[in-house]
Homo-oligomer: A and B are copies of this chain.
Amino acid sequence: MIGRLARSLRLVVITDRALAEPRGLLDVVRLALAAGAPCVQLRNKGEPARELLAIGRDIRALVREAGALLVVNDRLDVALALEADGVHVGPDDLPVSAVRTAVPPGFVVGRSADEPEVARRAVDDGADYIGCGTVYPTSTKRDAGSAIGLQGLRRVVEAVDVPVVGIGGITVERASDVATTGAVGVAVVGAVMASAAPAEAVRGLLSPFQAA
């Protein structure tokens, strides 16, 4: 039996307006949710807060209707304004400890970490889950550094007792390998956003992580 958060983190669909083209971002998100995606992360780097809020409101409506989780990347203020379920922060964003002091109880805080020590510190500071990667080399995140592979992911999984999600270059084909590490799920950008068949991709990515 796994917890509620871990169940939501079996698949995190990260938004990317450009990769979704020529389809609208909302259309791809709608397909993903209908296929069972349990979590959407709103991420549109460099977009002004107001635009992020505008698209975020539409996405929130879809996510709520589907009973899924909505997490916002980096911009805690947008997350709060949206009444999202959580925020995901990386090394350049607000520290987890600062985020914790500014959010209501129950608000989900995720932190990126590709090393056990960083992950442990994040959990000590109050992170509810860890996004771990880059697992495989990827083109959608240029500054991702070198890939840590399944072994690197496993090391982080073993270092913390909160859910860990693998991220970076994960495809339907690779998802079952990722599941062998003990990660509760995967976070993907291109594998859903750029997919010609987003619903099929969602089902394929979820299948190794179906909870008992």
Contacts and interface: CB of A to CB of B under 8 A. Distances in A.
Interface in A86-105: 91-95, 98-99, 101-102
Contacts of A48: 92-93
Interface residues of A, number: 21
A156 B78 CA distance: 29
A45 to B, nearest CB: 11
B81 A94 contact: yes
Residue in A48, A51, A74, A98 with the greatest tally of chain B CB atoms within 10 Å: A98
Number of copies: 2
A98 B80 CA distance: 9
A122 interface: no
A80 B92 CA distance: 17
Contact of A81 (B49, B51, B78, B102): B102
Contact of A102 (B74, B80, B99): B80
B53 A81 contact: no
Interface in A64-120: 74-78, 80-81, 91-95, 98-99, 101-102
B94 A50 contact: yes
Contact of A77 (B51, B53, B80): B80
B81 A98 contact: yes
Given A77-B94, A78-B94, A80-B102, 4 more contacts: A49-B74, A49-B92, A50-B95, A51-B92
